[in-house]
Amino acid sequence: MADEGSDTPRRDDIRGDSNADSKVPDETEGDDTDKTPITITTTKNALITTQLGPCDVYPHSVKISIVGTRKVGMACAIAILMRRIASEVCLIDQNSDKASAEAEDIQHAGIFLGCPLVVGTSDIYKVKDSTVVIIAVCEKKLEEEINVKHNIEVFKKIVPTIAKLACKAVLLVVTQPIDVMSYITWKLSKFPSSRVLGTGTLLDSCRFQDLLSRKLGLARTSINCMSIGAQGDTSVNVSIWSSVHVAGTKIRDINQRIGEADDPEKWHDISEAVNKTEEYPCIADMTETKKKSPEVASNTVTVLLAKQAEHLVDGHRVKVVVVGSAPKGVAVAIAILFKRLASELVLIDANEELAKTEAEDISHAAAYLGNPRIVGTKDYVCARDAAVCVITVGSQSREDLRPADYLEQNLKIFKDVIPNVSKYAPNSVLLILSKPVDILSYVAMKLSGFPPNRVIGLGTFLDSCRFQYFIAQKLGLSANAIQALIIGESGPASVPVWSAVAVMGMPLKDINKEIGTRTDPESWGDLHAKVVNTDNELILKKGYHNWAVGICTGEIVDAIVRNTCACFTVSTFMKGCQHGLEKDIFTSLPCVVGRNGVQSFIRLLYTSKEQELMTISFRRIYEAQRLILDKIE
């Protein structure tokens, strides 16, 4: 952007000396101010006046520890953080790298979770002073038998220590078999029985409620029911049909044999499906249920529900589609659902079984998410009339894969996905998460034929969040007190805008003129290198990165669905005349996002050095884009 002809204003052209306003005034006659020399050693010391000494105890009052960071443990952590239940969450696992990587992944988008403290460690002593300790160790793998003896041996090692360090905590057991392990925990901890809980049949009760709601075509929260006995054991898990009420009406008063083996309507099948959901014939959606259970229409349901109209309009008004059911796609879906942004969420994946399984897993607890409709499919027809379509599919970059080959693979996937999505959701906003995000956002615009404002790439939004987080760490402040952004290419050539970094409106460059440069004695520039390397570090430690991406995507979808006109550094279309390079590209800039996608972008006052780096970044994007131009025209 330093090219001649660029109309982007420069900060140093307008402001002159960026530190002029912060200079100490010269002595004047009659000045009786204190002339005691002030020693300023760091930017942090100059910015923050310390009123109190360091605390011996971290002042977070609600601490929850989760022992075990496999899928169940992380699902517990995300649910707690999304609902802002805890101010501190401690993830504990014998695999220290896995625990720390999961914690770091979440922390990068912690600004959207209320800035909690999230710690990952292998040190069981970190459970000290927890309010609740969730024990999720020994999670069994698919088709693996539960090894009770092994689980008991593990519990013998950890439970006494937990009880000693978190002596006032409530212990919540999710390790299977839950009832047995809850009893073992109670015995080993020597806690009163009121402070040792197992999740028990809560999930079974939720599944019971979910399956009933599908058969009746009602919201889950309109149905009261429960399952008792042993969790997950069909022989001793009992669905209490006498407890089933719909809006105060007892179902057994309508159908005396409901839930019994000789019930002609076969409601008993639901009891069996509670623990074996894959055997239930109708799990895709409510319309399929109605097709496969025609006998219900003339019996219990018609007695219970008096129709006011023969042809009902589908009441789902906000549909969001997520293409891709890998960890990143599921994290996006979870973020959207916890924010209650969609009344219908569709997971689309070429692996239909995976999409259906993930959708069903979430659906079982959808009563706690505002009763959305959740569908898993491979059929793009289900994307019809979506408000937002989030594209997460694509290969990850690997060391053994050349960038050109990696781009070629994802281009091939996009040629199949984008035309299908745009065909059935022609008025949607496309949100691209696949990498390289700037190039693939351009590809999506070309293949869809959508106007540029309705194609958005995640861009450097997550990079900006990480930048904020690392600056906050260095200053010892909350990330929501920091204003910081990274623009340009999402990758090594991204540009940290040090001239715009501020704390509560105070530009750090006014305190430290060399901030972010090679001559900076405090090495603030290392934070940008840390941002760039974070993805690779997380992939090395846990195999992928998903939570921060999902949370950031939830914020963008929020801005679109609720038309909040929020500002994010997302990847947007830029014509050559707008950025000084003659070629059209997608790149990340501070954008205003609303119902129509990118509604405008903000003109910042960049320094000449920042403009120079931006021009380099833009050229890198175009050079990569040029490789595939002839394949999408």
Same domain, 262 and 411: no
The domain that holds 481 is classified in CATH as: 3.90.110.10
Same domain, 156 and 245: no
**DSSP H or E run through 183:** helix 178-189
Same domain, 168 and 206: no
Cα–Cα distance, 182 to 192 (Å, whole number): 12
* CB 598 within 8 Å of CB 570: yes
What pLDDT shows up at residue 253?
Answer: 84
Write down which residue in 393, 426, 457 finishes a domain: 457
Q: Which residues, given as ranges, of the chain have pLDDT below 50?
A: 1-9, 11, 13-31, 33-39, 56-60, 278-297, 316
Q: Is residue 111 part of a domain?
A: yes
Q: Is residue 468 part of a domain?
A: yes
Q: Is residue 270 part of a domain?
A: yes
Q: What angle do CA 286, 291, 295 make, to 5 degrees?
A: 105
Same domain, 487 and 621: yes
Residues near 255 by beta carbon (within 8 Å), at least 6 away in sequence: 263, 265, 267, 299, 300, 303
Q: Is residue 415 part of a domain?
A: yes
Q: What is the tens place of the pLDDT at every residue in 204-252?
A: 888 888 888 888 888 888 888 888 888 765 556 788 888 888 877 888 8
Same domain, 453 and 590: no
Count H helices, E strands: the chain? Answer: 20, 25
Three-class SS of 284-328: CCHHHHHHHCHHHHHCHHHHHCCCCCCCCCCCCCCEEEEECCCHH
Q: Is residue 15 part of a domain?
A: no
What pLDDT shows up at residue 259?
Answer: 85
Q: Is residue 8 part of a domain?
A: no
The domain that holds 68 is classified in CATH as: 3.40.50.720
Same domain, 514 and 589: yes
What pLDDT shows up at residue 305?
Answer: 67
Cα–Cα distance, 369 to 303 (Å, whole number): 29
Same domain, 433 and 449: yes
What pLDDT shows up at residue 28?
Answer: 43
Same domain, 486 and 617: yes
- pTM for the complete prediction? 0.82
Same domain, 74 and 110: yes
Write down which residue in 457, 490, 514 finishes a domain: 457
What pLDDT shows up at residue 254?
Answer: 85
The total number of structural domains in the chain stands at 4
Write down which residue in 278, 310, 328 finishes a domain: 278
Same domain, 110 and 85: yes
Q: 549: closest CA among 392, 354, 343, 356?
A: 392
Q: Is residue 243 part of a domain?
A: yes
The set of long-range contacts for 625-630, using a CB threshold of 8 Å and a minimum separation of 24, is 625/438, 625/439, 625/442, 625/583, 625/585, 627/404, 627/407, 628/407, 628/408, 628/411, 628/439, 628/443
Q: Is residue 118 part of a domain?
A: yes
Residue 271 lies in domain: 202-278
Tally the C-alpha atoms within 13 A of residue 170's C-alpha that lie toward its C-beta.
Answer: 10
In angstroms, how far is the first alpha carbon of the chain from the final one? 27
Q: 181: closest CA among 63, 68, 62?
A: 68
Same domain, 127 and 177: yes
Same domain, 185 and 93: yes
* CB 341 within 8 Å of CB 557: yes
